[in-house]
Chains A and B, each alone.
Chain A
């Protein structure tokens, strides 16, 4: 029975060879003419401001956390759904109640989540990354952009 997984293995190896081959080939085929401006992070032509490794809103973490919990719940539903159809009627009723209780308990958590406004993205002032004052950015940019006005050779 496990033989049915062999094609998957073959496919995965083939896909890996194809994907890695494409990366390597394009690395080998293309010309290499790097210069300092080309290699700097792209920020619409402006000199990059600050570091790219900023801290991020805790919301994303919360979404990932909630995702795990509901993902586990969905995974539990799969064996339940598979066995449901062919079960006798009494067993089906039992399974329905069983799953109803399971989901009801989880939904307590779901409503708690709604109550604490955990998913309201726009109202979380403190969770947002440090707000940048436009005037600060302008001051920072000023000297750099003047230098830039003279085109490099």
Chain B
């Protein structure tokens, strides 16, 4: 086993299978959880027919979508219309390559590259293309408007997100996400996590990241691109069958990825919240999954709770509140670091 883990021909495919396999199996589970939890919060039943407690519902949906008619509407730009869902899914699947899911550096991350989190930012910034191109190629007013809105929204919140990540980079002095987790290790357990660093600066950075991550993934209350009362389904209005499902998959997969980033950057990654006996018995990846689950649940909870923002309010929140706050916060972190050194 040890020699096998040294062999790159074995270990690279293994890492990819672990991470991509996890993200792709998480998607149907997430769809089921979301529909059930939303139903419970709205005092309904949700899917409960296919399999025990409706657990097989997403799989049934997936099979159904594969055999649905693949409508190619008139006057679409064919090549780009087919390219857009693939262009959306590919960067989403590549993004988790730099996230460490546990303490063993032979299994994760897939690639421990020097640019670390910059790679992740590069990948998330590329998802805009799938959205713009889907909106443009569909030859539908709602698609085009949805695509434009979505892309303008994503790029606006990318700034606030980048700046809140920067405060963690400052604290760690490295872009490697493994280093960021190790920087949160200590005697104090969860008090050492980046959320609670330099109180309340760490907390503010976390809050900005939280808002930005909701907006980046186009989820409620920032799901304006697909505000069904005004834009039908936004940029994927004209998409059907598996191409529609790919946008859906991409959205859920990026929810998993970005929650993992949140856990890694601010909530100690795979570290246990209390650094003593019974808690440290639980292995790191399990802690990671527990924390991941909390944030994914938060996504659903927020969706069931908050009303949708108006578009001008959304842009104002991003540009006039989050951006300057994040910059000032970043600067204060640097000043305190300098003061204490």
Contacts and interface: CB of A to CB of B under 8 A. Distances in A.
Direct contact of A and B (CB under 8 A): yes
A63 B232 CA distance: 24
B158 A5 contact: no
A42 B90 contact: no
B71 A84 contact: no
A5 B115 CA distance: 10
B182 interface: no
Given A40-B74, A84-B337, A122-B312, A16 B166 contact: no
Interface of A is mostly: helix
A18 B72 CA distance: 21
Interface of A: 1, 4-8, 10-12, 14-16, 18-20, 22-23, 25-27, 29-34, 38-44, 50, 52-54, 56, 60, 63-64, 66-67, 70-71, 74, 77-78, 81-86, 89, 92-93, 96, 99-100, 103, 110, 114, 119-122
Contact of B174 (A25, A29, A30, A82): A82
Given A7-B111, A14-B16, A42-B237, A26 B243 contact: yes
A63 B156 contact: yes
Contacts of B66: 25-26, 29-30
Contacts of B118: 78
Contacts of B152: 60, 63-64
Contacts of B338: 89, 92-93, 96
A19 B84 CA distance: 10
Report which residue of A30, A54, A92, A96 has the largest number of chain B beta carbons within 10 angstroms of its beta carbon: A30
B241 interface: yes
Given A1-B114, A12-B94, A42-B140, A29 B67 contact: yes
Contacts of A40: 73-74
A82 B67 contact: no
Contacts of A8: 94, 97, 110-111, 113, 119
